[in-house]
């Protein structure tokens, strides 16, 4: 219900991490960056070319390419 | 120079370190932490000009070593690469992890950023899983205060069970306290040191307990058997190679063969599989 890839999160909006669908290596890396299920992520700004996008994750600004961010499933939050 | 050389770089580095500091240093501490936490600023503040950098053999990872004197003792500090994790996705992480677990430092300091403490605690817990002699240094305390972030250090100490020291490495605030605490951790069995590493789900804990019992004698007290059991469940081949090397180097009798270690791993993994089904 209303779940989508983090890469589709519009700038200025926030969403909650539901799960990560990636191989072990990338999954570990994304978890290490703080993308644990339940985490609130906000898309802060976008490269003019569209990629990468800077996300606010647990107090830090982290840029992700859509190759990685699409592996993170999120759901909208109020 | 491949990472899969039969003699892992970590041991070349450790031999060198032992030669370098063996005679004069009273203790070796490792400095770890996430990137951009002011770890190297702290390293510089601690060691001043008494430092030099070198390469980790076989990998393009730069490591700095330095020394400081405190209460008449000479302490060697190894500045590890900044990492988010010790689960070794990159060369940096592998170097940091190998040093903490095989370098057998007398204490490990994890430097955390006070302005986003939460995201630093992942690494703190990972280090605590390897070694009980962990000290948390909460750096950039001034910036956090400016951002109106209040940190309950007492609570943090209580929850983690390790010493927690707030610092501002830039102007050396908290450095004396850090040195004093390290002195206690290293030289006088610190009573308040009761780390509380993470506890996992029942299924994992059950498999862990069984695997830990299997590897206990292999570890011979040289490595933390719970941590080894955890990594065996991960099945990281590079680490398993290093564990075998390490145990073969240090073991006097009954050196385990890699095949023997694998036999025990498979046993633990089969057990875990059963529990989950």
d(CA B20, CA B33): 24
- Residue B3 has a pLDDT of 41
Cβ contact B45:B176 at 8 Å: no
Question: In chain B, which residues have their Cβ closer than 8 Å to the Cβ of A33?
Answer: 84, 119
Share of chain B above pLDDT 90, in %: 29
Contact assignment for A59 to B84 by CB distance below 8 Å: no
d(CA B6, CA B244): 11
Q: Which of B155, B136, B134 is nearest to B39 (CA)?
A: B136
Give the SS3 label for residue B192.
coil
Mutate which of A35, A55, A60 to test chain B, going by most B C-beta atoms within 10 A?
Answer: A60
Mean pLDDT computed over every residue of chain B: 80
Give the SS3 label for residue B76.
strand
Q: Is the model's pLDDT at B219 over the cut of 60?
A: yes
Q: Is the model's pLDDT at B9 over the cut of 90?
A: no
Q: Does any CB of chain A come closer than 8 Å to the CB of residue B12?
A: no
Q: Is the model's pLDDT at B201 over the cut of 90?
A: no
- Residue A77 has a pLDDT of 86
pLDDT tens for each residue of A15-71? 999 999 988 788 888 998 889 999 999 999 999 888 899 999 988 899 999 999 999
Name the more confident of B99 and B264. Answer: B99
Name the more confident of B162 and B2. Answer: B162
| ipTM, interface predicted TM-score of the complex | 0.77
Task: Report the predicted TM-score, pTM, of the whole model to 2 decimal places.
Answer: 0.82
Other Cβ atoms within 10 Å of B92 Cβ, number: 21
B199 Cα to chain A: minimum distance (Å): 17
Q: Is the model's pLDDT at B153 over the cut of 50?
A: yes
- Residue B259 has a pLDDT of 65
Strand segments, DSSP code E, in chain B are 27-33, 51-55, 62-70, 73-79, 107-113, 134-139, 164-166
User: By CA distance, what is A27's nearest residue in B?
Assistant: B89
Residues in chain A: 78
Helix (H), strand (E) counts: chain B:
11, 7
Query: Average pLDDT, stretch B167-185?
Result: 92
Q: Is the model's pLDDT at B139 over the cut of 90?
A: yes
């Amino acid at each position: 219900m209303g779940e989508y890839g983090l890469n589709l999160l519009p700038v200025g909006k926030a969403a909650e991490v539901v799960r990560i669908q990636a191989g072990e290596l990338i999954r570990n890396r994304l978890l290490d960056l703080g993308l644990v299920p339940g985490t609130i992520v906000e898309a802060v700004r976008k490269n003019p070319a569209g990629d990468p996008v800077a996300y606010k994750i647990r107090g830090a600004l982290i840029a992700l390419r859509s190759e990685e961010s699409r592996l993170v499933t999120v759901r909208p939050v109020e | 120079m491949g990472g899969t050389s039969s003699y892992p770089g970590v041991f070349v580095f450790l031999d060198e370190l032992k030669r370098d500091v063996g005679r004069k240093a009273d203790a070796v501490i490792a400095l770890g932490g996430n990137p951009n936490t002011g770890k190297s600023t702290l390293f510089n503040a601690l060691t001043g000009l008494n430092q030099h950098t070198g390469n980790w053999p076989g990998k393009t990872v730069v490591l700095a070593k330095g020394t400081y004197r405190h209460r008449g003792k000479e302490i060697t500090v190894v500045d590890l690469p900044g990492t988010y994790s010790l689960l070794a996705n990159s060369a940096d992480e592998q170097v940091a992890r190998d040093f903490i677990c095989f370098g057998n430092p007398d204490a490990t300091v994890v430097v955390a950023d006070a302005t986003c403490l939460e995201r630093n605690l992942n690494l703190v817990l990972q280090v605590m899983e390897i070694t009980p002699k962990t000290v948390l240094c909460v750096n950039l305390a001034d910036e956090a205060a400016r951002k109106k972030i209040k940190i309950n250090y007492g609570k943090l100490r209580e929850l983690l069970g390790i010493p927690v020291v707030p610092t501002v490495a830039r102007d050396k605030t908290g450095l004396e306290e850090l040195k004093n605490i390290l002195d206690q951790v290293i030289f006088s069995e610190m009573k308040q040191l009761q780390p509380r590493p993470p506890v996992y789900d029942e299924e994992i804990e059950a498999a862990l307990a069984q695997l830990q019992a299997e590897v206990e004698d292999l570890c011979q007290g040289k490595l933390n058997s719970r941590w080894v059991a955890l990594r065996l469940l991960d099945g990281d081949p590079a680490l398993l190679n290093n564990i075998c090397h390490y145990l073969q180097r240090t073991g006097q009798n009954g050196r385990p063969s890699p095949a023997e270690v694998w036999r025990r791993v498979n046993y633990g993994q089969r057990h875990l599989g059963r529990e989950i089904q």
